[in-house]
Homo-oligomer: A and B are copies of this chain.
Amino acid sequence: MGVNRAWEEEEDRLLYRRVYDSLRRRLESGEWSPHDKLPSVRQLAARFGVNRLTALRAYRMLAEENRVYAREKSGFYASPPVPLTGANASDSGMDEVEPSPSGPRPGNPMSEIQSLPVDYQLSQGIVDPGLLPNLFLSEYVKGVFDLYPKLMGTYSNPQGDEELRESVARYLTKDTRVPLAADDLVITTGGQQAIDLLTRLYVGRGDAMLVERPTYSSAIDIFRQQGARFLPVDITPAGYDLERVEALMKLHRPKAFYLNPTYHNPTGYTVPAGQRKRLVELAERYRCLLIEDDSFHEMYFGEPPPRPLFAYDTAGWVVHLRSFSKYVAPGLRVCAVAGRPGVIRSLVTAKSLADNGTPLVGQKLFLRYFESERFGRHLEKLRIAMRIRKETAEKELAGGGWTWDSPKGGLNLWVRLPDGLSSSELLEESLRQSVSFVPGLICDPLRETDTHLRISYSFVGEAVLKEGTRRLTELARRLAERNSLGSSLGRLMP
């Protein structure tokens, strides 16, 4: 019981923080003028799918910080800014104010959800560490250090270890049929860093940017932090509406399009081969850099995927991100970025400023494994394991009123909830039962769609996966009943 209690407190803390962070961000962005009336506690609770006490707690915290104030029986209002003029400001007892970020405080709700300790972890879109060849890896590590005795003492160069880049270039040349050399690649600390650096380089504050809807939640937060203006493009099992894409490009001249066309995160959809060439032509015509995140390329269940967009690029408007972290070695964090000389040159400089190069030790450890015969066998084994787990999750969800398109690869299911339920509401309940998943809301660049959720079948063992999805199905059933009971009561007692 003690553990459950602590757990509930932790969870309450998280929920209240989400509300608090959102309000604080909006206050800081100047959305409200001083003394403007703010959303009611009731509205806020509904919006975030939390109970009213949680919403109230967020307001109380903001009131303590003099960011809002309450008027009795009326609600909460935006406070005027704290006076801060002249050198005497510090004499007025306000020394305790914290340093405050220059822009809106950045947020990353995905990372917060994933960091919650739960028994049924369905929010992590990475591979079960139990499926990785850990013992094999530990054994050969010593050999890597024998091979490079001064490895610990050597800086990587900012572009990444040359031997690793050569090796990945050979692999990608074979895979994409685009001839690539070591110089055409940059190694980054996971795909996330590549997205961040490319956004910093090519998307300025206020610049328009195409993003898929839904898309990778942390990518949304990166773009938001950079001040991008979103132009959402729906992704469906049939790909994009290319006429809409062209119209948006023509009208808004977006600087970039972040896309994940193969076993897309979170939906699992794959943009058909027929659209790929056309997308690259549009990008060239309207000078929009396509940032092609291809992190799930190797994770197919039947046929390999179509060739990447990068394979159709002739004029340099596609940059290709191939992360190996998720399904080879999350502890190493290795992503290769392929592009044309201009983009690569800028990216190397940005990388040299950001961290002066991904640590060399991890690159060399990865290289030896990547080149081993074992690597190919590992991928084959993994594809089978992932397919089985996907089928396990699908079996549990079947008949519960959920709908989804069964993906042909990747690590996630994108599931539409039974009618009338919201994923935020479900998350609040499911966390109490120690099940976590990614609510669709945070995958929507417009933060509107709350009808879907992402279930990652990749991270936990089969038994846990089965029980976790069973609990979700059961919960959704109960919530739907409660809601329909509530609305019946509502009709009876208006």
Residues in A lying within 8 Å of B, measured CB to CB:
84, 87, 89-90, 95-99, 101-103, 105-108, 111, 115, 126-127, 129-130, 132, 134-135, 137-138, 141-142, 145-146, 149-158, 188-190, 192-193, 196, 201-205, 207, 218, 221-222, 225, 250, 255, 284-287, 289, 315-317, 329-333, 340, 342-343, 346, 349-350, 352-362, 365
Report the minimal beta-carbon distance from A135 to chain B, rounded to whole angstroms. Answer: 7
Judging by beta carbons under 8 Å apart, are B222 and A353 in contact? yes
**Interface residue from B152, B196, B287, B329 paired with A355 (Cβ < 8 Å):** B196
Residue of B nearest to A251 (CB): B87
Q: How far is the CA of A453 from the CA of B3 in the complex (A)?
A: 60
Q: With contacts A99-B317, A352-B108, A362-B359 known, is A115 near B157, CB below 8 A?
A: yes
Q: What are 19 A-to-B residue pairs whose CB atoms are below 8 Å?
A: A84-B287, A90-B285, A95-B285, A101-B201, A102-B204, A102-B207, A108-B158, A111-B352, A115-B157, A115-B158, A130-B153, A152-B332, A155-B330, A155-B331, A156-B331, A156-B333, A218-B352, A221-B353, A331-B361
Report the minimal beta-carbon distance from A357 to chain B, rounded to whole angstroms. Answer: 8
**Most chain B CB neighbours (cut-off 10 Å) among A96, A127, A207:** A96
Residue of B nearest to A201 (CB): B101
Q: With contacts A90-B286, A107-B349 known, is A358 near B158, CB below 8 A?
A: no
**Residues of B contacting A222 with CB < 8 Å?**
353
**Residues of B contacting A97 with CB < 8 Å?**
287
Question: What are the 4 tightest A-B residue pairs by CB atom distance, in nearest-first order?
Answer: A129-B153, A102-B204, A98-B342, A138-B145
**Residues of B contacting A89 with CB < 8 Å?**
287
Judging by beta carbons under 8 Å apart, are A340 and B98 in contact? yes
Judging by beta carbons under 8 Å apart, are A218 and B331 in contact? no
**Residues of B contacting A365 with CB < 8 Å?**
152, 361
Report the minimal beta-carbon distance from A10 to chain B, rounded to whole angstroms. Answer: 14
Q: How far is the CA of A89 from the CA of B360 in the complex (A)?
A: 44
Q: How far is the CA of A201 from the CA of B155 in the complex (A)?
A: 27
Q: How far is the CA of A45 from the CA of B217 in the complex (A)?
A: 50
Q: How far is the CA of A340 from the CA of B98 in the complex (A)?
A: 9
Residue of B nearest to A127 (CB): B153
Judging by beta carbons under 8 Å apart, are A105 and B343 in contact? no
**Residues of B contacting A350 with CB < 8 Å?**
106
**Residues of B contacting A316 with CB < 8 Å?**
96, 98-99
Judging by beta carbons under 8 Å apart, are B355 and A333 in contact? yes
Residue of B nearest to A225 (CB): B353
Judging by beta carbons under 8 Å apart, are A153 and B141 in contact? no
**Interface residue from B95, B106, B189, B349 paired with A346 (Cβ < 8 Å):** B106
Q: Given A95-B315, A130-B150, 8 more contacts at CB 8 Å?
A: A90-B285, A101-B202, A102-B201, A108-B349, A138-B151, A153-B330, A192-B355, A196-B353
